[in-house]
């Protein structure tokens, strides 16, 4: 095998039979035995100071013509400073590594090392049976894609998803072809003693023009890849910034909602939309509907309303109040003492609204300080309104309750009582 074929073994070849051989033999090669430059089994492995392995000829050619750094991680390499080592262990591993002939499925029982397998594949008497392989291979198999499919629809899906990868494979193959062609031209110039001047240099001009076109195409491909990567990066930054902005807005809205409920002075307007569906769920599943949690005043008691079908009489709606634990509980007086009002708002005539006022009963569990969760005991009206009357209080399928909770000032109450006793 010539030096050019060693370096571009994965590139397209003119002979279809050779293409089939490379296609099959590539499946038996472990990745750790593969040269990152020529993508073939490593010949005379070289270990670099940065820990990567290459064919000896591939690496020396790379260092001479391309760059004085590692092709994998760009670490500077200087052979004179001892950065390259013969990797006899890997060479012995490759020679001892035995693998079946790629035509073993067609009857060949030979097992050889990857290095010896090349010559065997060319002469294998069973390779003629390989033409029976009916798998559909990727259109870009000649530039390095090894995918194969049973159905053409799977191939089409693969082509649509991996166009960027195929583009990079084409660029890499073209670059290696240019490198190989340059070396062939260089060797030809060095070995040629003397030729008479050509009578017509048209062929030479066409060759140079073709090479220039290939180089320009390769340059355009790389520039396109860089632009796509940059656009992808910019889009990722924009999406990240938008997510941060959305989270900030959501936090602001949540904070605004909490502040409005904290400063409502114990007056909460409970608007229940889609009431018909909710009352149906209450009747069918014994569901309980809870309001937002609000405060009697700033730094005051935290409470919430609850609505459900009355357990005493399923023809009535129940409305009650729960005490909820808050950060203020340590500084408040317990049990809760105050006035609680429930107003079912009539949508057209406020005089027809149903108003009920009650006072807390300190010795009930419902008014004692809640634990880790809202107080399981509640206080209110278990038969507030008949279900038959509810349609008179809904408009656009919305029911509105106004809940007013006012905590009593114990200091003022005790002071007034002392004054009355003194006057008496």
Return the pLDDT at 339.
96
Task: Name the pLDDT band for 368 (thresholds 50, 70, 90).
Answer: very high
Q: What percent of the chain has pLDDT over 70?
A: 80
Please state, rounded to an integer, the average pLDDT across all residues of the chain. Answer: 80
Return the pLDDT at 134.
57
Would you list the domain boundaries of the chain? Answer: 3-185, 267-409
Return the pLDDT at 170.
82
Return the pLDDT at 208.
65
Pick from 228, 292, 297, 219: nearest CA to 264: 297
Residue 125, SS3? coil
* pTM assigned to the model: 0.41
Most confident of the ranges 63-77, 86-100, 287-301: 287-301
Instruction: Report the length, in residues, of the chain.
Output: 424
The domain over range 267-409 is classified in CATH as 3.40.1190.20? no
Task: Name the pLDDT band for 15 (thresholds 50, 70, 90).
Answer: very low
What is the mean predicted confidence (pLDDT) over 360-374? 92
Task: Name the pLDDT band for 184 (thresholds 50, 70, 90).
Answer: low
Terminal-residue alpha carbon distance, the chain: 123
Pick from 2, 19, 99, 148: nearest CA to 10: 19
Do 365 and 347 meet the contact criterion of CB atoms below 8 Å apart?
Answer: no
β-strands 379-386, 354-359 pairing: unpaired
The architecture that CATH gives domain 3-185 is 2-Layer Sandwich (3.30)
């Amino acid at each position: 095998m010539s030096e050019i074929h060693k370096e571009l073994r994965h590139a397209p070849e003119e002979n279809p039979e050779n293409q089939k051989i490379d296609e099959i033999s590539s499946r038996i090669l472990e990745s750790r035995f593969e040269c990152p430059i020529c993508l073939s089994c490593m010949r005379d492995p070289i270990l670099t100071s940065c820990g990567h392995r290459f064919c000896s000829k591939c690496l020396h050619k790379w260092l001479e013509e391309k760059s004085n750094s590692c092709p994998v991680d760009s670490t500077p390499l200087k052979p004179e400073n001892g950065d390259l080592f013969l990797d006899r262990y890997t060479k012995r591993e490759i020679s001892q590594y035995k693998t079946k002939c790629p035509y073993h499925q067609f009857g060949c029982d030979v097992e050889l090392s990857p290095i010896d397998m090349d010559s065997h594949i060319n002469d294998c008497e069973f390779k003629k049976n390989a033409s029976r392989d009916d798998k559909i291979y990727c259109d870009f198999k000649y530039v390095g894609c090894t995918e194969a499919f049973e159905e053409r629809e799977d191939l089409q899906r693969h082509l649509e998803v991996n166009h960027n990868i195929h583009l990079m494979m084409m660029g890499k193959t073209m670059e290696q072809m240019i490198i190989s062609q340059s070396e062939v031209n260089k060797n030809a110039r060095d070995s040629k003693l003397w030729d008479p001047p050509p009578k017509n240099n048209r062929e030479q001009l066409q060759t140079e023009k073709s090479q220039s076109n290939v180089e320009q195409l390769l340059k355009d491909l790389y520039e396109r890849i860089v632009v796509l990567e940059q656009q992808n990066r910019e889009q990722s930054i924009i999406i990240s910034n938008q997510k941060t902005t959305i989270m900030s807005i959501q936090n602001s809205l949540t904070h605004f909602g909490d502040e409005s409920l904290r400063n409502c002075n114990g007056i909460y307007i409970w608007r229940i939309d889609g009431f018909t569906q909710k009352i149906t769920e209450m009747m069918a599943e014994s569901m309980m509907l809870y309001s937002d949690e609000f405060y009697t005043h700033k730094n005051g008691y935290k409470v919430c309303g609850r609505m459900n079908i009355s357990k005493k009489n399923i023809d009535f709606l129940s409305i009650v109040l729960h005490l909820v634990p808050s950060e203020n509980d340590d500084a408040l007086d317990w049990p809760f003492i105050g006035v609680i009002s429930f107003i079912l708002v009539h949508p057209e005539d406020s005089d027809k609204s149903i108003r009920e006022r009650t006072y807390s009963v300190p010795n009930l569990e419902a008014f004692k300080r809640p634990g880790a969760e809202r107080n399981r005991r509640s206080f209110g009206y278990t038969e507030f309104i008949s279900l038959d009357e509810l349609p008179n209080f809904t408009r656009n399928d919305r029911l509105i309750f106004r809940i007013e909770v006012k905590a009593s000032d114990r200091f003022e109450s005790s002071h007034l009582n002392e004054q009355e006793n003194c006057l008496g």
